[in-house]
Amino acid sequence: METAALIVVLVIALALFFDFTNGFHDTANAMATPIATGALKPKVAVGLAAGLNLVGAFLSTEVSKTVSHGIIREDQISASHVDFLPLIFAGLVGAVVWNMLTWLLGLPSSSSHALFGGLVGATLVGFGVSGVDFGVLLSKIILPALLSPLTAGVIAFIVTRMAYAMTRRYDGKPDGRSGFRWGQIFTSSMVALAHGTNDAQKTMGIITLALIMAGWQDKSNADPHIWVIFACAFTIAAGTYLGGWRIIRTLGKGLTDVKPAQGFSAETSTAATILASSALGFALSTTQVASGSVIGSGLGRRGSKVRWGTAGKIAVGWLLTLPAAGLVGALAALIVRWLPTWGLLVDAVIALVVIIALFLRSRRDAVTAANAMSDVAESGMAVKVKKNPPPTRRQRAIIREQERLKAEEKARRKAEERERERRRADEEARRRAEKKAKAKADAKRSSDEKKKSDAKKKADAKSHADAKKKSGADAKKKADATKASAHDGGKKKSTAGKDGK
Amino acid sequence: MSIDIDWLAFVRVFVVALVGAVLVVGFYAAGLRMLVRAGRVPVVAPAEFTDAITVISPKQAAKAEKAAAKAAKKSPLTEGQKTLALLAAYGSFGLCALAVLGGIVLIVVH
Number of domains in chain B: 1
* Rounded Cα distance, B40 and B71, in Å: 9
Of B43 and A230, more confident:
A230
pLDDT for res A283? 79
Q: How confident is the model at residue A255 (pLDDT cuts 50, 70, 90)?
A: very low
CB contact under 8 A, A190 and B10: no
Question: Does an H or E element contain A306, and which?
Answer: strand A305-306
pLDDT for res A56? 86
CB contact under 8 A, B5 and A139: yes
Residue B1 lies in a domain: no
Mean pLDDT value across chain A: 80
* From A144, A254, A272, residue closest to B17, measured CB to CB: A272
Which residues, in sequence order, are CB contacts of A422 under 8 Å at separation 6+?
none
Of A251 and A415, more confident:
A415
Of A328 and A474, more confident:
A328
Q: Is A305 helix (H, G, I), strand (E, B) or coil?
A: strand
Confidence check: pLDDT of A363 > 70: no
The whole-number average pLDDT for the span A489-499 is: 54
Residue B5 lies in a domain: no
In chain A, what percentage of residues exceed pLDDT 70? 84
Q: Taking CB atoms and an 8 Å cutoff, what residues of chain B touch A170? A: none
Between A333-337, A374-378, A389-393, B86-90, the lowest mean confidence (pLDDT) is in A374-378
pLDDT for res A126? 81
Q: Taking CB atoms and an 8 Å cutoff, what residues of chain B touch A201? A: none
Closest among A183, A232, A188 to A207, alpha carbons compared:
A232
Backbone angles phi, psi at B40, to 5 degrees: -115, 65
* Rounded Cα distance, A24 and A242, in Å: 6
Question: Testing the interface with A: which of B3, B5, B54, B92 to mutate, by most A Cβ within 10 A?
Answer: B54
First-to-last alpha carbon distance for chain B, in angstroms, is 30
CB contact under 8 A, A134 and B1: yes
Question: Does an H or E element contain A253, and which?
Answer: none
The whole-number average pLDDT for the span A187-210 is: 87
Of A322 and A378, more confident:
A322
What confidence tens digit (pLDDT) does each residue in A275-318 have?
A: 888 888 787 888 888 888 888 888 888 877 777 777 787 778 77
pLDDT for res B51? 54
Between A85-89, A381-385, B23-27, B78-82, the lowest mean confidence (pLDDT) is in A381-385
Confidence check: pLDDT of A268 > 80: yes
pLDDT for res A382? 67
Question: Does an H or E element contain B2, and which?
Answer: none
* Rounded Cα distance, A384 and A298, in Å: 8
Amino acid at A237: A
* From A62, A174, A257, residue closest to B64, measured CB to CB: A174
pLDDT for res A39? 76
CB contact under 8 A, A138 and B6: no
Of A63 and A414, more confident:
A414
pLDDT for res A80? 59
Residue B27 lies in a domain: yes
* Per-position DSSP letters for A325-394, written without gaps between them: HHHHHHHHHHHHHHSTTTHHHHHHHHHHHHHHHHHHHHHSS---TTTS--HHHHHGGGEE--SSPPP-HH
Q: How confident is the model at residue B28 (pLDDT cuts 50, 70, 90)?
A: very high
pLDDT for res A368? 43
Give the Cβ contact number of residue A83 at 10 Å: 16
CB contact under 8 A, A135 and B5: yes
Residue B3 lies in a domain: no
Q: Taking CB atoms and an 8 Å cutoff, what residues of chain A touch B96? A: 183
CB contact under 8 A, A158 and B18: yes
Q: Is-above-0.90 flag for pTM? A: no
* From B1, B50, B107, residue closest to A60, measured CB to CB: B107
Residue A138 buriedness (CB in 10 A; 0-12 / 13-18 / 19+): middle
Of A224 and A75, more confident:
A224
- B68 and chain A: CB distance < 8 Å anywhere? yes
Q: Taking CB atoms and an 8 Å cutoff, what residues of chain A touch B23? A: none
CB contact under 8 A, B104 and A275: yes
CB contact under 8 A, B25 and A280: no
Contact A285, A141 (CB under 8 A): no
Shortest distance, CA A97 to any CA of chain B (angstroms)? 31
Of A107 and A88, more confident:
A88
Between A92-106, A326-340, B21-35, B42-56, the lowest mean confidence (pLDDT) is in B42-56
Confidence check: pLDDT of A372 > 60: no
Contact B86, B21 (CB under 8 A): no
Confidence check: pLDDT of A73 > 70: yes
Confidence check: pLDDT of A91 > 80: yes
Domain membership of residue B98 as a residue range: 10-109
Q: Taking CB atoms and an 8 Å cutoff, what residues of chain B touch A148? A: 13
Contact A181, B48 (CB under 8 A): no
Shortest distance, CA B39 to any CA of chain A (angstroms)? 10
CB contact under 8 A, A275 and B51: no
CB pairs under 8 A between A and B: 193
- Least CA distance to A36: which residue of chain B? B52
Of A298 and A38, more confident:
A298
- B109 and chain A: CB distance < 8 Å anywhere? no
- Sort residue A172 into left (φ over 0), alpha (ψ -120 to 50) or beta: left
Closest among A81, A143, A83, A84 to A119, alpha carbons compared:
A84
pLDDT for res A154? 95
Confidence check: pLDDT of A464 > 50: yes
pLDDT for res A252? 39
Widest pairwise Cα distance in chain B: 72
User: Of all residues in chain A, what percent are helix, strand and coil, respectively (each to 5)?
Assistant: 80, 0, 15
Residue B33 lies in a domain: yes
What confidence tens digit (pLDDT) does each residue in A415-431 have?
A: 999 999 999 999 999 98
Q: Taking CB atoms and an 8 Å cutoff, what residues of chain A touch B53? A: 36, 254-257
The whole-number average pLDDT for the span A459-472 is: 77
For the CA atoms of chain A, what is the radius of gyration?
54
- B73 and chain A: CB distance < 8 Å anywhere? no
Residue B94 lies in a domain: yes
Q: How confident is the model at residue B91 (pLDDT cuts 50, 70, 90)?
A: very high
Residue B4 lies in a domain: no
- B4 and chain A: CB distance < 8 Å anywhere? yes
